Structure 1
C-alpha cells in the first residue's frame, strides 16, 4: 500500500512540475512577444523622426532659412538657432529675421509625420492600436537656451547667463507655439547658461557657436497612467 501511495505521490509531483514548466514557458514567450512588439514600435518611431528630420532639412534648404541648422542625433531632431543672427547683443527678443524664419519653421513642423499623423491612415492605425494596448503617442519640442561664458552685468535686468538663456528659449518657444498652433503641452523650455558649450570660449568664434537656442524634437510611446482604483 505504501509503494502505491509513493508512486501516486511521485506521479502527482511530476504532473505538477510539468504544469509549472508550461506556465514558465508561457510567461517567457509572452514577455518575449511583448518586447518584440515594443521593439517594432521603437523602430517605427525612429523612422518617423528620421522622415520628419529629412522633411525639415529639405524645407530649410529650399526656403533658405540660414539662421537655422538641422541635424539628426540620438536626442532626436536638433534645430540650432544661431544667436548671433537671431538676437541682438544682450537681448532676449528675437530679431525680425529670426521671427520670420521661426514662422516658416513652425509651418513646416505641422506638416511633418510627427505632427500630421491624423492625416495618415496607416499612422492613425498604429497609434490607435498602441493606445488600446496602454501606450500613448508623445511628442516634445524643447527649446534649450545656451550662452557663452561672458558675465552679464549684475545690474542688468537679465541678472545672469541662466536667466538670459532661459528668456531666449522661452521667446523662441512662444513664437513656435503661436505660429504653429500646436498644443502648448508639446512645448517645454530649458536654460543652461554657459554650461553646455559646443566650442571653447577662449575666442570670439567659439563664443559665437556657444550662443544659441537649440530646438530639440523627440517622440516616443509612453505607458498610459492607470486611474486610481483600477
Structure 2
C-alpha cells in the first residue's frame, strides 16, 4: 500500500523533509518546486511508513486504500506524475566537477550579504511570504505583529472546532524560531515604530496585515443592539485581546 497526496496540499514541503526514502517530489531543491499544483508521492518508492501523513499540516495525505469517492482519483494523479518524469539534470556551472578535486566557494563580497526583510503581520499571508524567503533565499527576516501572540487569522479568525485548518499554524510556528528570524510581538507599525524607521533598517518591507475592521452592509437595523459583525463575533470566541 502507498500513500497519495490530495487536493488540499499546501506544497510547503514538510512531508518532503520527513520522508525516509525521498519519494515525494518536487522537492524545494528541484526546478519544478513551486510551479506544480501540488506535491506527489511516488507509489513505486513509497514504503508505507506514514511519516508524511503525520507531518502534513493540512491533512492532505492518505493511504490509497482509504480514499473514497472523488478522492480515489488522486491515487492515479500521484502515479501519473512519475510515469513520464525524467531525473533532475546534474548541476551545471563553473564550480561543478563530477569527479574532480573538491572546490570551495570564495567569500562573497559585501554586495552579496544577506538581505534583511521585514514582514508585518504573522498570519497566513505573512508567514507564507516568510517561509518562501527562508526556504529559497538567504534573507534575514524580521516578523512584526501588533498582537501579543503570533498567528493572525489562523489564531484569531478560525473557529476552535476546525482543528484541521488551525493545524497549519504548527507549520508556520516552526519558522518562528528559525535562526534567520527575529520576532517582534506587540509592536504596531505607525504607533510604536514608523513605517519610515522600519524601512530604514531593512532592504524590503512586506505588509501582510489584512483588514482589521468589518465592512458594513448598509442594511436597515444594522446599527441596532444585538446586531454584531462576524469579525467581532469570531474574534470574541477566539479570545482576541482587543475584543471584550
Q: Is this a same-fold pair by TM over 0.5?
A: no
Query: TM-score band (shorter)?
Result: under 0.3
Normalising by structure 2, we get a TM-score of 0.19
More helix by share: 1
Normalising by structure 1, we get a TM-score of 0.20
Q: Considering only CA atoms, is the larger Rg found in Structure 1 or Structure 2?
A: 1
Q: Which of 1 and 2 has higher RCO (CA within 8 Å, sep 6+)? A: 1
